[in-house]
């Protein structure tokens, strides 16, 4: 790693594995441990290859079940989002009512209506931003492409399972803003 050119060091930053890569690895490992917190994978250690393979199979099935549960709960209507939508509809209706009164308004009333409509538009924009923020936090994972290969998981050898996992997963991103994002290559 220390043989990198000056350009590579500039583009990729610190190349010291102990200072950069290993702490990142530990961070990702902790995420995996957190995801599998409720799964008993103790049989993986100290057992034979068959036991290890069955433990991995069980862990994959556990994670798939968690994804399906998360997808179902994400599909359920969110009370906060529905309340925001209702408020936006209410504001739109108020704006429509005020706009209908513009034709009969004198100068003073016209200015009042215009100011009120501007205020309502600002309130509506703020509510829409809240809805967009909630939508970004509620990402769904499409598990459909994973379900067919996972049905045959128990019949695969360990190298085949490894190969399938490598094909299915492109990357796993972990950030404070977006949480855990799994990018599937399927």
What's the angle, vertex CA 133, arms to CA 36 and CA 24, rounded to 5? 40
Enclosing domain of residue 61:
36-75+140-184
User: Partners of 184 in the beta sheet?
Assistant: 169
What's the angle, vertex CA 88, arms to CA 176 and CA 139, rounded to 5? 30
User: 71 and 144, same structural domain?
Assistant: yes
User: 71 and 147, same structural domain?
Assistant: yes
Each residue's pLDDT tens digit, 134-165: 766 655 556 666 676 677 777 878 877 777 77
User: Partners of 175 in the beta sheet?
Assistant: 179
Q: How many domains does the chain have?
A: 2
Q: How far apart are CA 186 and CA 3, in angstroms?
A: 36
User: 67 and 95, same structural domain?
Assistant: no
User: 109 and 84, same structural domain?
Assistant: yes
Q: Which helix or strand (DSSP H or E) is residue 62 part of?
A: helix 49-75
The pTM of this model reads: 0.37
Of the CA atoms within 13 Å of residue 125, those in its CB half-sphere come to: 6
């Amino acid at each position: 790693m220390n043989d990198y050119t000056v350009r590579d060091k500039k583009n990729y930053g610190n190349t010291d594995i102990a200072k950069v890569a290993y702490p990142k690895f530990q961070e990702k490992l902790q995420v995996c441990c957190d995801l599998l917190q409720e799964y008993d994978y103790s049989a993986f250690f100290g057992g034979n290859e068959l036991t290890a393979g069955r433990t991995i199979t069980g862990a994959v099935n556990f994670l798939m079940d968690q994804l399906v549960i998360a997808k179902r709960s994400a599909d359920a209507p969110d009370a906060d989002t529905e309340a925001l939508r209702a408020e936006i509809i209410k504001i739109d209706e108020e704006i429509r009512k005020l706009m209908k009164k513009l034709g009969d308004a004198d100068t003073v009333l016209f200015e009042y209506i215009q100011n009120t409509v501007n205020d309502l538009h600002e309130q509506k924009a703020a509510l829409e931003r809240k809805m967009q923020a909630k939508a970004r936090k509620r990402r769904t994972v499409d598990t459909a492409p994973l379900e067919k290969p996972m049905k045959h998981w128990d019949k695969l050898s360990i190298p085949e399972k490894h190969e399938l996992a490598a094909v299915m997963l492109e990357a796993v991103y972990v950030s404070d803003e977006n949480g855990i994002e799994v990018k599937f290559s399927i």
